[in-house]
A and B are shown apart, each in its own frame.
Chain A
Amino acid sequence: MVYVWSIVCFAGLVMALATLLMVAARVLVNYGVCKLDINAGEKPLEVEGGQTLLSALYANEIFIPSACGGKGSCGHCKITVTGGGGPVLPTETPYLDRKEIRANLRLACQVKIREDVFVRIPADLLNVKMFDATVASATQLTHDIKEIRMKLDEPAEISQRPGQYVQVQAPSDEGPVFRAYSISSAAHEPDVVELVVRLVPDGIGSTYLHNLNPGDKVNFTGPYGEFYLNEDPSVEIVCVGGGCGMAPMKNIIDTLYHRWPERTCWLFFGCRTTQDVFYLDRWQKLAEQHPNFHVIYALSDKLQDGEKWDGETGFIHLSVDKYLEEGIPRQAFLCGPPLMIEAVTRTLTAKGLKPEDIFYDEF
């Protein structure tokens, strides 16, 4: 009997407390309608107070990049708040350095709207849209890398630059989350978005994408990213990738040869073993059509018995060092693990590239 009483009493008390809190929240956390001003009057909005800046902007179809779904754990949703945001919170300081704090940068997911808020958002981000798409094909490239091609339904076209990425909405136990993937389809194919995704054990986004079949519906926002391809045809383009860091490079190279068939471009790609090699025949075919396109693959692990490999071996920055001559104007795009980026950046700087001509996607 005492057990029943204990359970009833405790459950009743907890329920009473929860009800009280809910009533208090209803009464206390009610800020009414607040003004949300974007770029000094360019786009004035009226939003419900009490929510975060990020969700208010999402509700008005302004898609700030965010990977963690507003939990304050990715630090992607930085925007300039010029007024009404309150002081910087302890939950934001790990993601903002002193310079950014002085420039009024905030994490949009941590700023709560309590009064009229004034923000500045770059024009690029205002053009970001939410896309409905259907999977057209899903091709296994290696044992853990898949190429997923999606046909856009609504809006029917995307205007993207090579090097930009989209944020795919993936379901998780705690509601939808967004994960960033570079677009691998060329910019002159506006009705498709193609991704190259490596399966990460227990990864929410990659598991979701790897389990998609043709015909499945996908939602994503985009395009994001600040990379601009150098439009001067005399500048050589150098792409260096490792592991599965191929997607942005595929976009860059395809777009490049569509526009400038004669332009010089180098593709260096580092893999561990022959099992990790993909797209090599595709690039060799392209190199036959465009004599100024050079493709170099390198394997970092030792060859197994009976395996054949006529490409380079060793880490990829060694191949970069071996093939590139000094003193030619170049723009470089790197994509891969942090250690590779660091090593290749050092090699490229030694070859005379300026830091502002080296772009990278680190993961």
Chain B
Amino acid sequence: MNGPSPVVILIAAIFTNNILLANFLGMCSFIACSRQIGTSLGLGTAVTFVMVMTTAINYVVYHHVLLPLGLTHLTFIVFIAVIAAFVQFVEMFVERFSLKLYFALGIFLPLITVNCAILGASLFMIIREYSFMQTLGFGFGAGVGWAVAIILMSGLRQKMRYSDVPQPFEGVPIAMCITGVMAMAFMGFAGMVSIQ
């Protein structure tokens, strides 16, 4: 196996190469759904699950269908189709077997379809030429990293509800500022492990 081990990739994807705080992917749902810890926990779990599964499926599709047939120019559209179909499937599955989780996730579940972090993770896996095991590690790590970031954010925003934020900064602007500060703080992990 070339490159770092899956475990290293997993840890790097959470801390040093956090898909949200280092690559700034998946910002829309990050800003929109980080008001309460409960919902961000649910969304974070859903994103992690979908990310692991779609990177794995996309790995198989890419290496066993697109690459042998020389159709790598279809990568983007195929990945998007796979992600959309998979989210649909997960929605049906969750609705059938855990109504409570279904209602807790509510509208966020279909929103994951258009979360760019999910597509981003699949594309990174291609660019960085990961093996299947590395892909699994990266998918899981990226999902957990995204979840960690949104949960930290919602904690901060819950605390901030009682702070006296200057009027022009209320709501999204201050959330953006906090995201920037958090991203800088995460840069402190840079020496720990490194992938690309």
Give A contacts to B, CB under 8 Å.
2, 5-6, 9-10, 13-14, 17-18, 20-21, 24-25, 28-29, 86-87, 89-91, 114
Contact = CB atoms under 8 A, between A and B. Distances in A.
B74 interface: yes
Contact of B73 (A6, A13, A24, A89): A6
Q: Is the interface of A mostly helix, strand, loop or mixed?
A: helix
Nearest to B84: A17
Contacts of B107: 90-91
B96 interface: yes
B129 interface: no
Contacts of A20: 85, 89
Interface residues of B, number: 23
Interface in B60-95: 61, 65-66, 69-71, 73-74, 77-78, 81-82, 85, 88-89, 92-93, 95
Interface in B9-24: none
A17 B82 CA distance: 7
Nearest to B88: A21
A91 B107 CA distance: 9
Given A20-B85, A24-B89, A24-B92, A13 B103 contact: no
A40 to B, nearest CB: 25
Contacts of A29: 92, 95-96
A21 B81 contact: no
B106 interface: yes
A269 B92 CA distance: 54
Given A10-B78, A28-B92, A29-B92, A21 B71 contact: no
Contacts of B85: 17-18, 20-21
B7 interface: no
A228 B71 CA distance: 70
B71 A2 contact: yes
A14 B81 contact: yes
Nearest to B65: A9
Contacts of A24: 89, 92-93
Contact of A13 (B61, B99, B106): B61
A24 B96 CA distance: 11
A13 B88 contact: no
10 contacts: A9-B65, A13-B78, A13-B82, A17-B82, A17-B85, A21-B88, A24-B92, A24-B93, A28-B95, A29-B95
